[in-house]
Amino acid sequence: MAERYDFTHAERKEKIIRICISTGIWIVSVAAVIALAWLVIYLSIEKTTMVDASMEPTLKQDDRIVIDKLTYRIRDPQRNDIIVFRQGDSEHSFYNIKRVIGLPGEKVRISEGVVYINGSAIEEYANVENMILPGLANYEITLGEDEYFVLGDARNNSEDSRYATVGNVKRSEIIGRAWIRTNKFGFVNSLNQKQEN
């Protein structure tokens, strides 16, 4: 006598397997999208707040800044870029925001409030006040192959590369470039530019 086959049970089992596979694929897809989004955000942008007045009038204390961390994975910082960096390995050290003035291998000196790079006076990109104190840059400073000389735009109210507490900023200490100010929207590098006559 032929055995009777239960088609309903087999169809149900097949349907359950299909649902489980579809659900598994959906869960893996959602997890992959979340992981990818986290990775992109972690590697490319971050937020910080301006903690002092050293970049006025370009950035004011408590301005909220989006940091572009991706650009410097592709190219090195350029003169006049406003960078975000952290010195030291302490978890309590804060992000510092300054303008790049001197590039690796260059010689920097400040005399009578004017910045000289390799013996030539630079033309300032931003509206900045005349410096009263040259600090360490009263004598020529030769930057290492991985060092940058930075200044705050509030030249007489900024702790920057002129002082031993900050000194030259190493490439490895740079987090990224200050990209967008969010509280009063603006692209940071376009703020406080000198107008061409």
Integer Cα distance of 59 and 50 in angstroms: 7
Torsion sign, CA atoms 75, 117, 65, 86: positive
Integer Cα distance of 151 and 170 in angstroms: 14
What is the set of active-site residues?
54, 98
